Amino acid sequence: MKYNTLGKTNIKISELSFGASAIGGMFNNVEKDEAIKTVHAAFDRGINYFDTSPAYGRNNSVYGPVTSETILGNGLKGLKRSEIILSTKAGKTSSLPPELNFRYGAITKSVEASLNRLQTDYLDILFLHDIEYNKGIELNIALNEGLEALRDMKKAGKIRAIGISCYSMEVLKKVIPNYNLDTVLVHNHYTLINNQLLELLPKINAKHIGLVSASPFASGLLTHQGPPDWYPITHQDLCVVHKTINYCKENNVPLEKLAIQFAVSNPEIPTTLFSCTQQSILNKNVDWYQEPIDPDMIKNVQKLLEPLMNKDFDFGEYND
């Protein structure tokens, strides 16, 4: 496993990292014990960076809406804290349906609750979560009260680095040059169907901001399992993906393998977050990460996926 320094911080993270959205039940049902074993398997394979959020869970889950943080906390409990890079988020308290609150007091309260669920006394990184959601109605509050709360908690030693997570390219292009951030988490913008992260790299590098790229499988779209029920997808889009999956089967190469290999292929991206709930899938992804990439297969698959290239799925709009 390769490790990279995150921007101007002294935080060193694994090039492939573990996103804990899936163990919060965001894509399918979760078996708690297997999820914990998957966290252990990730660490054993050299992954040192784990990301979660209080919003990763379903309200109808038997574990409640904070499933991901609770399970991840239990999974990391037996590991040496100094060997783990841990991030969570604040401001988005629920995903299905989304609930937002970026007020100063709400952020500090959220972080204290997250620390308790994660069974730790500090966070390596804290992101304000999906600041553009609900047509940006909370954006100004997030960038003022929300960031102020993060800065104060960083001064108090509860957070090592602060940042935002966001999907909207319009918002990212405005925020990155104009706000003092240690990190930024960008999801769904460096995949087989999206290369818009390349537009942001000069702005990110100019500010020496640490970059976390998430969702190499386009939030489940580029998988055999297919996208979750909340995905803003059309039948026509799915037909394009199914055609591509069939092509990959004919060539004995899983689409997921090409997706993860493409996502980690850019040396300017320090880490790529992927998510899963089973040890077997975790190990497959790490194995694929370590194998040589086939540029011809990548090129052929991207040609099939061309109708979806840089399509704006507008997750924030969909989740109003």
Catalytic (active-site) positions: 63
Residue position matching structure tokens 């952020």: 107
Asked if 316 contacts 131 with a C-beta cutoff of 8 angstroms, the reply is: no
- Cα separation of 19 and 129, whole Å? 14
